[in-house]
Amino acid sequence: MYKILVSDKLSEKGLNILKENKEFKVDVKTGLKPEELKSIIAGYDALLVRSSTKVTKEIIDASSLKVIGRAGVGLDNVDLEAATNKGIIVMNSPSGNTISTAEHTMSLMLSMSRNIAVADKSMKSGEWNRSKFTGVELYNKTLGIVGLGRIGQAVAKRAMSFGMKVIAYDPFISKEAAEKLGIELVELNKLFSDSDYITFHIPLTEETKDLISAKQIPLLKKGVRIINCARGGIVNEEDLAKAVEEGKISGVALDVYVKEPPKDLALAKFDNVVLTPHLGASTEEAQVNVAVEIVEQVRDALLGLEIRNAANFPSVDTQTYKTLQPMFNLAEKMGQLMGQLAEGRINGVDVIYSGEISKFDTTALTMSVMKGLLTPVLKDTVNFINAISLAKERSIKVREEKSSESEDFTSLIILKVKTEKDKYLVAGTLLTKKDPRIVKINGFYVEAIPQGNMLIIYNLDKAGIIGNLGTLLGKYNINIAGMTFGRLNKGGEAITVLNIDSAPSKELLDKIKKLKYIEEVRAIKL
């Protein structure tokens, strides 16, 4: 019998699926303090959570869990690395709350445009004030959608039915895919300058943090209205408050915050700001959907039937997984590296397996490559299972090739990516059959450890470069843990790959770029 702990409130309809099955014993214990959870976790095979329970390394280390299931999308509350290191499968249910979040976005747009929340408050205080609450129509307005994934597309459909013109920015969706939806893809600055409403449906990443802050506000149309139902921090709360104060922005609607619950939110004082406490997925239907979805996934994983929507495990049988485990790791890291290296919309991906590895069924390795490649973009919504179909939806052609010959390595994976801007290549192998190494980046042979923070620097092969780099990184207190070089010919084009102990700031990257003989620098986080 499998013991399952449910530590956040989950819909009964989902829980009944487990309770009615004799293979499972389900304990529902919500509101546990971290130390209480830690003290009881050891006896359980699976843990089911929403977003309140923080599944930290401490909890994971104290457990002998086989599966952690998150009802919903965000895995911000689960230490994925600690779970992976302990061999625990972590799964989420990314699609059950799409409609609810899209509808919430529309509710916020309407509420903000027609002053619903403030008018309601005014009436309830005994007032009858019609002129104060004159609003604006959505009809004929331009809606700029940043992120045309599940929720972005659902919002687009609904907005079009209101007669809005929809434009979108999503560097990972093809023009054809957007056109099929009747949406024009534009560059971000054009979206900023042309939109009457801007809504965000993207994950929070280094790249999407503060996507609208003081720097971008001058680019916005005067009177724009901004909605964020995705993740706190994509828009800068303080900078938006200033722009609302100055009249540049006519309305803001937020469902998510940098800190939840937020403290001393400057935006809260304005009548033209609508705030909800992270309610996007809080509908009866979405809660049933995500609970049923996750419960069925956890049930099937525990019973050894199938692993779906796993954030950290490919779906293969246990024996193949054990044999190929270090290769999975290498493949995912290569994908992640490529995802941060390649610029522009991806059109095609070729994965070439040569040497010993070509004898195996490599489908799951390609899934790992694709998961790695799309993770910088899709974060928690991409997993081993859906990576290839998500690529297809984005019109990315994925091709596998095999060759039993591998001149210098026992096994070699070559990853080639074609974007609208350029072509890129990363090749990787295992040293002593377990330590991943990147052995080629574009035309350059290297020997780099794909791990942690890295700098990939394109430079000319001239004396003094290493000294200059070392001095500059030293000034910023950044320790170099590893270094490798590659050059095409003496004195010509070269590459320098550094493993560093902490992330470089933007200021440092700008300074590196200005060093003599340096042509380009890319910060990579694996």
Q: Catalytic amino acids?
A: 231, 260, 278
From ligand MLT, ligand NAD, none, interface partner of 142 (C-beta below 5 to 8 A by class) = none
Give kind and range of the element (H or E) at residue 70: strand 67-70
Residues 182-211 that bind ligand MLT (CB under 6 A): none
Nearer to ligand NAD, 98 or 329 (CB): 98
Give all strands (DSSP E) within 236-332, no chain letters.
Answer: 249-254, 273-275
Residues 381-440 that bind ligand NAD (CB under 6 A): 381
Nearer to ligand NAD, 316 or 391 (CB): 391
For ligand NAD, which stretch binds (CB under 6 A), given 39-47, 198-206, 350-358, 427-435?
198-206
Contact between 294 and ligand MLT by CB under 6 A: the answer reads no
Helix extents (H) in 195-315 = 237-245, 284-302
For ligand NAD, which stretch binds (CB under 6 A), given 21-29, 169-177, 265-273, 501-509?
169-177
For ligand MLT, which stretch binds (CB under 6 A), given 69-77, 317-325, 388-396, 441-449?
69-77
Residue 120 has φ and ψ, to the nearest 5°, of: -60, -45
Contact between 196 and ligand NAD by CB under 6 A: the answer reads no
For ligand NAD, which stretch binds (CB under 6 A), given 2-10, 42-50, 227-235, 364-372?
227-235
CA nearest neighbour of 84 among 417, 312, 294: 312
Residues 459-488 that bind ligand NAD (CB under 6 A): none
3-class DSSP state of 122: helix
From ligand NAD, ligand MLT, none, interface partner of 50 (C-beta below 5 to 8 A by class) = ligand MLT
Write the DSSP string, 370-421. HHHHHHHHHGGG--TTTHHHHHHHTT-EEEEEEES--SS-SEEEEEEEEESS
Buried b (16+ CB within 10 A) or exposed e, 204-233: bbeebeebbeeebbeebbeebbbbbbbbbb
Nearer to ligand MLT, 381 or 496 (CB): 381
Pairing of strands 24-28, 2-6: parallel
Contact yes or no for 13/71 (Cβ under 8 A): no
From ligand NAD, ligand MLT, none, interface partner of 51 (C-beta below 5 to 8 A by class) = ligand MLT
Residues 271-310 that bind ligand NAD (CB under 6 A): 278, 280-281
Selected from 49, 146, 311, 396, the binder of ligand NAD by CB under 6 A is: 146
* Least distance to ligand NAD, CB of residue 284, Å: 14
Contact between 314 and ligand MLT by CB under 6 A: the answer reads no
Contact between 106 and ligand NAD by CB under 6 A: the answer reads no
* Least distance to ligand MLT, CB of residue 79, Å: 16
Instruction: Using alpha carbons, list the distances in angstroms from residue 173 to 184, 201, 382, 439, 520.
Output: 11, 13, 14, 30, 26
Number of residues interacting with ligand MLT: please give it, by CB under 6 A. Answer: 8
Contact between 69 and ligand MLT by CB under 6 A: the answer reads no
Residues 70-109 that bind ligand MLT (CB under 6 A): 72-74, 97
CA nearest neighbour of 324 among 372, 371, 356, 370: 356
Contact between 101 and ligand NAD by CB under 6 A: the answer reads yes
Number of residues interacting with ligand NAD: please give it, by CB under 6 A. Answer: 34
Contact yes or no for 415/430 (Cβ under 8 A): no
Distance CA 2, CA 305 (A): 14
* Cβ atoms within 10 Å of 408's Cβ, excluding its own: 9
Contact yes or no for 159/201 (Cβ under 8 A): no
* Least distance to ligand NAD, CB of residue 150, Å: 4
Contact between 92 and ligand NAD by CB under 6 A: the answer reads no
Nearer to ligand MLT, 211 or 327 (CB): 211
End-to-end, the C-alpha distance of the chain in Å comes to 38
Distance CA 383, CA 343 (A): 22
Selected from 41, 50, 239, 314, the binder of ligand MLT by CB under 6 A is: 50
Distance CA 110, CA 197 (A): 11
What does R_g of the chain's alpha carbons equal in angstroms? 25
* Least distance to ligand NAD, CB of residue 197, Å: 16
For ligand NAD, which stretch binds (CB under 6 A), given 21-29, 147-155, 288-296, 301-309?
147-155
Contact yes or no for 53/70 (Cβ under 8 A): no
Residues that bind ligand MLT (CB under 6 A): 50-51, 72-74, 97, 280-281
Residues that bind ligand NAD (CB under 6 A): 73-74, 94, 97-98, 101, 146-152, 169-173, 201-203, 207-208, 229-231, 255-256, 278, 280-281, 377-378, 381
